[in-house]
Amino acid sequence: MRLLPAFPFLTQLLFLLPIAAGLFGVLLPALGYLPDLGGDKFHFEVFRQLLEHPALPHAVWLTLFSGIAATFISLSLAIFLATMLSRTSLSGNKNNRMASLFVIVRRGLIPLIAVPHAAMALGLAFLVAPSGWLVRWFSFLLMGWETPPEWVTVQDPFGLSLILGLVLKETPYLLLMILAALPQIRAQEYIRIGQSLGYGNLRSWLKLVLPQVYPLIRLPVFAVLAFSLSVVDVALILGPSTPPTLSVLILRWIDNPDLSFRFLASAGAVLLLLLTLGALLFWRVSEWLLLQKWRNWLSNGKRGNRNEAQKLAALSGLLLLGTAFLSVLGLAFWSLSLRWPYPYVLPQRWTSRNWERHWTSIQETSFTTLELGVIAVLIALILVVGCLENEQWRRVSFSFRSQWLLYLPLLIPQATFLLGIQILAVRLEMDGTFLLLVWSHLLFVLPYIFLTLADPWRNLDTRFPQIGQCLGASPLRVLFRIKLPLLLKPLLVAAAVGFAVSVSQYLPTLFAGGGRFATLTTEAVSYAAGADRRVIGVYGFLQALFPWIALLLALAIPRWRFRNRATLL
Amino acid sequence: MNNIFNYNSATESESMSKTLNFIIFTTLFLLLSSFSVSANSWEDISKKAKGQTVYWNAWGGSEEINSYISWVGTRVKEDYGVTLKHVKLASTADAVSRVLAEKAAGRTTNGSVDLIWINGENFAKMKENGLLFGPFTDNLPNFKLVDFSGKPTTLLDFNLPVEGYEAPWGMAKFNFVFDSARVSETPKSIPELLQWSKRHPGRFTYPHVTDFLGSTFIMQALIELTANPEVLNRSVKSEVEFSKVTAPLWSYLNQLHPLLWRSGNSFPSSSSVQQQMLNDSELDIALSFNPSATSAAIANGSLTESARTFVLKKGTIGNTHFVGIPFNSGSSEGAMIVANFLMSPEAQMEKQNPDIWGDSTVLSITKLSAQQQQKFKALPLGVATLPPEKLGPTQPNPHPDWKNQLSTEWQRRYGQ
């Protein structure tokens, strides 16, 4: 109990140091200061140069458009699906075929969170390319095209395929966040009330549940928005190249052998940060405006039930699921192919060679991935639970400011931010150590765990711990005997999400690990540079498999543990 | 573009004193390094290297290259007791940036990179910023076997003197790849390529200039189109010179781009992606920087069996790729062992085999023993590889200065 205040302090220290280092590492070069490259004076010349860069206006437009559109579509789809997929709707659904369809969509969508963005993007690229899987089947069954059609699908100039790729990944994440938040606001009871007053399922949901659930998922939505604006790997694979999004432009500048481009890259990173903050503000203002507009609608008393909405939700859910499933399946087929040129719909020659050849490397990298993920998740869980407990027992809420601090790593473009951390690590003689590697993963794992766990924790009925206390239990005992068991499911889901985040880290692993630690993701990304779908298939599949298993466990354990306590599920 | 960085905009008096400094420094350095060479006999180096671990940062995008590197690891472990770890990079810049961060933080020993696969501008920039250890190649016994006269790019990397700061380990030569099932006649020159594209719109493209093969293609076109290609071997003198020399290139590209894949509105992000597009039949002609790579790709299944290669009548750009040792490597002896082994006849032969990798040797065959010469000659050529006499003349890579400015200008014209 006395140690509790140490948790937020420790967490903040853990974050403050690298973030300050990271921010300085971006800001100073952006202002022209990087002595090792000959910049020893502060000036705004770099920003002027950035703003005059011919590719910039379009890149900024593209970044904002694709990021905001992807977030908006993902959120709308997630809400739409949630209205149909939440248990509340299922129990009230008389149409059995529809109900079982929804169960399939629900069971299928959630594991998609585990598939790494890059793997999904590569799979999608193969699926929808003009020479891709869909066209090959179409050509095989109907047209017999000798050469692929000259369509512009992947890497289209408007970034539509990029948006689709992001939506495939973010919709399941937001859906999971919504479904996890529903029990806290007792959505089921509201729906029943709504229904008994003659509102249809969808209307009850939108009028009664959504206004309560949205504040709970606002932070995840912000995280999705920030991620979509600064994503690199998906934009590289699916986004246009002339010009690309701002994040890819920054990466090109960092990758430029002319080291003086680091100045421009840093300024670009600062601009991206400002854009992200601007987009978040824009989003928040739009929320408020929408609320003003719809306030009347919420209480206008109009009833009605529309079944088309249900069908539409089922259709969009199935489409989403099908696209994602085929993307992953395509990669799996590639991992088993030796030769697969156009127009073959299936590999021309099959082989197990891709798997055999990498078996030793798979074993080593899998172990490192697992070790790193488990340790990072455990530390993060302890810190997050400590902070949340501190907040509850001492009735101080984690301040707005420190919460933003926590989310900063998710808002700042990784590549430039990590350069500053790297310099700090070298100064502390910590670079290339396992400790630093875990630390760098924590920067990204911890916010996601906090994001996933904070609301269920805060919304746990306070009467449970109160009863425990009244019966004379110490806070620690209350934590272990009442809170943790009650919150087992969100705890495990948070752990699984954190694990998935750890597995997917590429740049932090490379920068902090000093190249000393190879994980499935460092392997996968370096092979992605070679564009060999067969090897990418192997590593992409494994990259998805681990978090998938973690998530399945997170869902199965509570089910087993609470097999006699159905309402806890 | 460059003038904001004050170290580039030195006034004349400054540059005078810089030149003077440079002379004094170089003299001192040569004196010192001649000491170090005598002090570091090969036996000393081998002794120190034993038990060291060498972290070799190298592009990891190719299975073939990765398994070759892991074979090198087994061999140097057997012969010298050096442990080699391949740090697989998606981009060489990641490693350069790590060395830079270490220098910024004052880490002068025990750096995280011991050996780095580089050439061209990465080398120029690392050398310019004092990020490289050396000169060291004179310490390596196998360095003598390199074909300096027949392969001058082993000493001049993109026209920049290597001066012992990186050791050559492979040769590259620009060539075209085509699918013989769909293409019957291949162009013999850059203008003919335009004619071909007019007959087959949308079936050719080149990677974005941020990829080395994309920039090599525009340099290749420039060499053939400009009136006086010799000027490309030195740095760009003035903006006027640049626009005069490159004018024919831009008018060529303006005609070519509407005929490219997606009308030149989009470019493949890398040469690997472009190869995949050839396999996907989205293209009929693609580019390569290794004459045997196509045979190797057919053998391993990543290219269709009907893929073949061709070169241009007047010749194509060739260069050498190297390994360098960062200034702060804690295992520089081990790194030198690896660099030396890479230049050994055994390692070079293994590498040139198209079933393994198919990367051409840097060695002069005539300097080898009769038995080794025999073995080199017995290596299979590969189904799509042109024999040496059909590969045409080799043109030097233009000075990095040209490449940088070409790439900037290209992005200004076509990158938006």
Cβ-based contacts of A426 with chain B (< 8 Å): 101-102, 104-107
Name the pLDDT band for A95 (thresholds 50, 70, 90): low
Structure tokens given for B247:
């004018």
Q: Which member of A46, A338, A432 has the closest CB to residue B4?
A: A46
Average pLDDT over residues B242-268: 94
Q: Which pLDDT value is given to residue B221?
A: 97
A36 touches chain B (CB under 8 A): yes
- Cα gap B177→A207, rounded to integer Å: 62
Q: Which pLDDT value is given to residue B8?
A: 35
Q: Are the Cβ atoms of A532 and B280 closer than 8 angstroms?
A: no
The nearest CA of chain B is from the CA of A428 a distance in Å of 9
Q: Are the Cβ atoms of B112 and A514 closer than 8 angstroms?
A: yes
Residue of B nearest to A35 (CA): B104
The residue with greater pLDDT, A450 or A426, is: A450
- Cα gap A213→A185, rounded to integer Å: 7
Name the pLDDT band for B307 (thresholds 50, 70, 90): very high
- Cα gap A468→A470, rounded to integer Å: 5
pTM here? 0.82
Q: Is B52 helix (H, G, I), strand (E, B) or coil?
A: coil
Give B158's contacts (C-beta < 8 A, 6+ positions apart).
Answer: B119, B120, B121, B123, B124, B319, B397, B398, B399, B400, B403
> How many contacts, defined by CB atoms under 8 Å, are there between A and B?
205
Name the pLDDT band for B241 (thresholds 50, 70, 90): very high
A515 touches chain B (CB under 8 A): yes
User: Is the pLDDT score of B286 beyond 90?
Assistant: yes
Q: Are the Cβ atoms of B416 and A242 closer than 8 angstroms?
A: yes
User: Is the pLDDT score of B2 beyond 50?
Assistant: no
Q: Are the Cβ atoms of A431 and B112 closer than 8 angstroms?
A: yes
Q: Would strands B53-59 and B316-324 be described as parallel, antiparallel, or unpaired?
A: unpaired
Residue of B nearest to A41 (CA): B6
Name the pLDDT band for B9 (thresholds 50, 70, 90): very low
- Cα gap B273→B283, rounded to integer Å: 11
Cβ-based contacts of B182 with chain A (< 8 Å): 147
* CA–CA distances in Å: residue A509 to residues A114, A434, B7, B319: 18, 10, 33, 33
Interface test with A, best of B9, B55, B62, B97 (most A CBs within 10 A): B97
DSSP A462: T
* CA–CA distances in Å: residue A332 to residues A336, A352, A531: 7, 12, 15
- Cα gap A126→A106, rounded to integer Å: 25
A144 touches chain B (CB under 8 A): no
The nearest CA of chain A is from the CA of B366 a distance in Å of 35
Q: Are the Cβ atoms of B98 and A432 closer than 8 angstroms?
A: no
The residue type of B298 is I
For the segment B187-204, what is each residue's pLDDT rounded down to a tens digit? 999 999 999 999 999 999
Average pLDDT over residues A144-168: 86
User: Is the pLDDT score of A347 beyond 50?
Assistant: yes
Average pLDDT over residues A415-444: 80
Residue A397: Cβ within 10 Å count: 12
Q: What is the CATH number of domain A58-248+298-351?
A: 1.10.3720.10
Name the pLDDT band for A88 (thresholds 50, 70, 90): very low
Structure tokens given for B19:
């030149």
The nearest CA of chain B is from the CA of A536 a distance in Å of 10
Structure tokens given for A158:
């408007």
Average pLDDT over residues A500-510: 85
Q: Which pLDDT value is given to residue B188?
A: 95
The residue with greater pLDDT, A529 or A68, is: A68
Q: Which member of A40, A516, A528 has the closest CB to residue B112?
A: A516
Separation of CA B87 from chain center: 19
User: Is the pLDDT score of B11 beyond 50?
Assistant: no
Name the pLDDT band for A122 (thresholds 50, 70, 90): confident
A352 touches chain B (CB under 8 A): no
Q: Which pLDDT value is given to residue B36?
A: 45
Name the pLDDT band for A306 (thresholds 50, 70, 90): low
Q: Which pLDDT value is given to residue B12?
A: 40
Q: Are the Cβ atoms of A423 and B101 closer than 8 angstroms?
A: yes
Average pLDDT over residues B304-308: 93
A289 touches chain B (CB under 8 A): no
Separation of CA A515 from chain center: 25
Average pLDDT over residues B43-57: 95
Burial class (CB in 10 A: 0-12, 13-18, 19+), B376: middle
Q: Which pLDDT value is given to residue B14?
A: 44
Q: Are the Cβ atoms of A422 and B101 closer than 8 angstroms?
A: yes
Q: Which pLDDT value is given to residue A402?
A: 66
What stretches of A126-258 adopt beta strand conformation (E)? none
User: Is the pLDDT score of B16 beyond 50?
Assistant: no
- Give the closest residue to A246 by CA, choosing from A63, A416, A47: A63
Q: Which pLDDT value is given to residue B246?
A: 96
Per DSSP, helices labelled H in B226-292 are 239-256, 271-279
Q: Which pLDDT value is given to residue A305?
A: 61
Question: What is the share, in percent, of chain A residues with pLDDT greater than 70?
Answer: 92
The residue with greater pLDDT, B284 or A552, is: B284
Q: Which pLDDT value is given to residue A489?
A: 85
Average pLDDT over residues A183-198: 82
- Give the closest residue to B221 by CA, choosing from B199, B245, B240: B245
For the segment A51-73, what is each residue's pLDDT rounded down to a tens digit? 988 889 999 999 999 999 999 99
Q: Are the Cβ atoms of B112 and A432 closer than 8 angstroms?
A: yes
The residue with greater pLDDT, B387 or B35, is: B387
Burial class (CB in 10 A: 0-12, 13-18, 19+), B188: middle
Q: Which pLDDT value is given to residue B15?
A: 45
Q: Are the Cβ atoms of B101 and A426 closer than 8 angstroms?
A: yes
Average pLDDT over residues B218-223: 96
Structure tokens given for A293:
């507009």
Q: Residue B196 in contact with residue B187, Cβ under 8 Å?
A: yes
Interface test with B, best of A127, A128, A242, A521 (most B CBs within 10 A): A242
Q: Which pLDDT value is given to residue B362?
A: 95
Q: Are the Cβ atoms of A511 and B98 closer than 8 angstroms?
A: yes
Q: Which pLDDT value is given to residue A568?
A: 65
Structure tokens given for A510:
């490379």
Structure tokens given for A153:
């699908």
Q: Of the given ranges (A228-232, A414-418, A500-504, B322-326), which has the lowest mean pLDDT?
A: A414-418
Q: Are the Cβ atoms of A259 and B125 closer than 8 angstroms?
A: yes
Q: Which pLDDT value is given to residue B62?
A: 85
Q: Which pLDDT value is given to residue A225?
A: 93
User: Is the pLDDT score of A34 beyond 50?
Assistant: yes
Q: Which pLDDT value is given to residue B5?
A: 33
User: Is the pLDDT score of A98 beyond 80?
Assistant: no
- Give the closest residue to A150 by CA, choosing from B273, B279, B203: B203
Average pLDDT over residues B236-250: 95
Average pLDDT over residues A310-335: 87
Structure tokens given for A337:
């192919």
- Give the closest residue to A322 by CA, choosing from A534, A101, A117, A174: A101
The residue with greater pLDDT, A440 or A103, is: A440
Q: Got the DSSP string for A151-178? A: ---TT-TT-HHHHHHHHHHHHHHHHHHH
Q: Are the Cβ atoms of A36 and B62 closer than 8 angstroms?
A: no
Q: Which pLDDT value is given to residue B132?
A: 96
Give B198's contacts (C-beta < 8 A, 6+ positions apart).
Answer: B259
Q: Please report, to the nearest 10 degrees, the dihedral formed by the alpha carbons of residues A499, A500, A505, A509 taken in order.
A: 30
Q: Which pLDDT value is given to residue A64?
A: 96
Q: Of the given ranges (A330-334, A476-480, B103-107, B178-182), which has the lowest mean pLDDT?
A: B103-107
Q: Residue A41 in contact with residue A431, Cβ under 8 Å?
A: no
Residue of A nearest to B307 (CA): A341
- Give the closest residue to A225 by CA, choosing from A70, A113, A114: A70
The chain-wide mean pLDDT, for chain A, equals 84
Name the pLDDT band for B40 (thresholds 50, 70, 90): low
Q: Are the Cβ atoms of A532 and B202 closer than 8 angstroms?
A: no
Cβ-based contacts of B276 with chain A (< 8 Å): 531-533
The nearest CA of chain A is from the CA of B144 a distance in Å of 30
Give A120's contacts (C-beta < 8 A, 6+ positions apart).
Answer: A112, A165, A168, A169, A234, A324, A327, A328
CATH 1.10.3720.10 boundaries in chain A: 1-26+352-569, 58-248+298-351
Q: Residue A202 in contact with residue A305, Cβ under 8 Å?
A: yes
* CA–CA distances in Å: residue B38 to residues A236, B163, B326, B339: 50, 17, 21, 19
Q: Which pLDDT value is given to residue A499?
A: 92
Q: Which member of B88, B262, B303 has the closest CB to residue A526?
A: B88
Q: Which pLDDT value is given to residue A1?
A: 60
Q: Which pLDDT value is given to residue B401?
A: 87
Q: Which pLDDT value is given to residue B37?
A: 44
Domain made up of A1-26+352-569: CATH architecture: Orthogonal Bundle (1.10)
DSSP A568: G
Cβ-based contacts of A422 with chain B (< 8 Å): 98, 101, 105
The chain-wide mean pLDDT, for chain B, equals 88
User: Is the pLDDT score of A395 beyond 70?
Assistant: no
Q: Is B156 helix (H, G, I), strand (E, B) or coil?
A: strand
Q: Of the given ranges (A406-415, B242-251, B356-365), which has the lowest mean pLDDT?
A: A406-415
The nearest CA of chain A is from the CA of B373 a distance in Å of 32
The residue with greater pLDDT, B69 or B14, is: B69
A128 touches chain B (CB under 8 A): no
Q: Which pLDDT value is given to residue B232?
A: 93
* CA–CA distances in Å: residue A300 to residues A207, A294, A296, A487: 10, 10, 6, 37
A504 touches chain B (CB under 8 A): no
- Cα gap A10→A8, rounded to integer Å: 5
The residue type of A452 is T
- Give the closest residue to A358 by CA, choosing from A518, A548, A529, A550: A518
